[in-house]
Structure 1
Amino acid sequence: MTSAREKRGGAPVGFIAELDGIEAASVIYLRLWCDGPESQESVWNDFASSLGPAQARKALKSFENLCSLCSKHGRRPLMRHSVNCKCLGSDEACFANFIGTAVTGDRDDSILIATLLVRPDVAPLLASLATEFGLALKRMNLRVPKRMAGKEQTFHTQPAILH
C-alpha cells in the first residue's frame, strides 16, 4: 500500500513542457531508465548517437550511479509518472531542479537540493554525479520532445515507483 507521503511525491505540479531542455531531459531519462531494459537501451542509444561511444559511456555511468544512489540511499522511493505522461510529478520536479542547479555549477545549492532526495551524507556525491550527467545533457543540446509539449493534460493517479 502506498503511503500518503509517497503519493505526494507523485502529485502533479506542472508539465514537462514548462521545463528547459536539460531539466525535461533529466525527467524523461529518469522515467525511461526506470521503465526497464528496453527503455534503458533507448537511453544508451540517445547518448551514443549524440555524444559518441566514449562520452556516452561516461554519461551513462554517471546517470546509472545517480539513479542507484537515489534508490539505495533515498529518503523514500522516488515517484514518477509514465514515460509518455505530459505532467510533472513533485519528485520529478525536484529531480529536474536538482540536475538544473548542478549543471550551473552552484554546488552548495545542488547539495542542498540533493538532501531532499537522499541522506545528507550522500548528497555531495549525488551532486557531483548530477553535474556530470547534466553537462552531458547540455552537450547533447536537448529540447522537450514535441509529443510532450502538447496542450492536452493527462494526469495519472498511480505513478510508478523508482526501485
Structure 2
Amino acid sequence: MSVRPHFPGVDVPQQTPRGGAPVGTLQELGPIELGAVVYLRAWCTGGADRGMIARDFALVMGDAAGPMVADFDALMTAVLTNARRPIMRHGLGCSCFCGDESAFANLVAAAAGRDHEEALLFASTLIKGHAAWGAVELALRLGQVFLRLARMPNTAPVPTHSQHNLRYKN
C-alpha cells in the first residue's frame, strides 16, 4: 500500500490508478486499435455487450466466427488473469482511452500486422512474462478478423461524453 505524501498547505489530488489515466481520444485511433479498445470494454462489461462482439465477428467472418470469438474470449481471459496489476479501462461510452487500453490496442494491431516482436513487447507491459507469448499467439490468430473489421464502413456510434468511468478487472 502506498502512502500519499503530505505537503502542508497543498491540496494533493487523488492519483488515477496506474494505467487508467487518459492518454488520447478514440477519434485519434486507427480502425484496428479502435476496435480493440471497444471490444476490450464490451467484453469486460459482459452480457449483451459480449454478444455485440460475436455479431460483429460473424458479420465479417461468417461461419469461421465461432472459433474467433472463442479466441477473443481466451485472449481476454489470458490478459486479465495474468495481469501484472489490475487492467484499467474506461466506460464503453467514454470518448478517451487510457494507457492500459492503448497497450492492448497496440498488441492487437501489431499482431494483425504480423509483427511478433512488437506484439510481444505490448503484451509484456500488461501481463506477466510466462503468459505473454500465449496472448500474442491468440492475438495473431485474431489478426484476420480485426483487419476485416477495420475495412468495414464506419457505422459505429460515436461516444458523446468524456466521463472517465474507470473499471478494475473483474
TM-score normalised by L of structure 2:
0.83
CA shift for structure 1 position 6? 7.2
**Partner residue, 1:162:** 169
**Greater relative contact order (CA < 8 Å, ≥ 6 in sequence):** 1
**Are residues 102 and 118 of structure 1, via their aligned partners in 2, closer, same or farther at CA, if it must alter by over 3 Å?**
same
Alignment of 1:7 onto 2:17: yes
Structure 1 residue 23 corresponds to structure 2 residue 33 = yes
Which residue does 2:148 correspond to in 1? 139
1:102 aligns with 2:106: no
Aligned counterparts, 1:122-137, within 5 A: 122-137=131-146
Tell me if structure 1 keeps the 8 A contact 2:20–2:100: yes
Please name the residue that 1:72 is paired with.
81
Structure 1: gaps of 5 or more residues: none
Question: For residues 87 and 99 of structure 2, what CA distance do their matches in structure 1 show?
Answer: 9
Match of 1:32 in 2: 42
Q: Distance in 2 between matches of 1:95 and 1:57?
A: 22
How many equivalent residue pairs?
157
Q: Residues 69 and 144 (structure 1 numbering): CA distance in 2 closer, same or farther, change over 3 Å? A: farther
Deviation >6 Å, runs of 4+: 3-6
RMSD: 2.3
Q: Structure 2 counterpart of 1:101, which letter?
A: A
Gaps in structure 2 of 5+ consecutive residues: 4-13
In the alignment, residue 158 of structure 2 is paired with which amino acid? R
Residue in 1 aligned with 2:67?
58
Contact 1:32 1:83 in 2 (8 A): yes
**Distance of 1:94 and 1:146 partners within structure 2:** 23
User: Bigger radius of gyration, 1 or 2?
Assistant: 2
**Percent identity over the alignment?**
32
CA deviations 1:47-68 (Å, max 9, x no partner) are 112221x321121111100100
Contact preservation (8 Å) 2:112, 2:146: no
Shift of 1:135: 2.1
Q: Which has a greater percent of helix?
A: 1
Contact 2:57–2:65 (CA under 8 A) maintained in structure 1: yes
Give the TM-score, by structure 1 length.
0.86
